[in-house]
Structure 1
Amino acid sequence: MAKNVGGIDRIVRAVVGIGLIYWAMTPTGPMMVAGPIGFIVLLTAIFGWCPAYLPFGIKTCKVK
């Protein structure tokens, strides 16, 4: 698995993922949807690989 998610993209994904997980834990949050989506977004930030980028050939990381 080659990384295809770059630095700023990873930071944005981590912030959005944590925000969705936090929102899912609040009493008014849509727990059934926001939690799993936030978890998946956070995992893509941690591993630096997004399967949704593959069919489109998108890479936001720098090529070495």
Structure 2
Amino acid sequence: MDNDDRLRPGHPLYEEAMALELTVRTLRHAQGKKNPEDVLYGSPAWDVVSEQFVRDLYRAMGGDPNALP
């Protein structure tokens, strides 16, 4: 049974998801914000930047980041 709906190369939404992620990274950089790869992985700064990145990504998808926990 081949019912694998995971998002990966070749999936119809994969390119759209990658473009959205790249757009958020580019906008954050233009705004002078850091992206997760700009700070040391696992550090307290990485935790903060990663959370901010996810909130910006959620906003770009049309969500309200203030509604997130």
Structure with the larger RCO, 1 or 2 (CA within 8 Å, 6+ apart): 1
TM-score between the two structures when normalised by the length of structure 1: 0.36
TM-score when normalising by structure 2 = 0.34
Larger Rg over CA atoms: 2
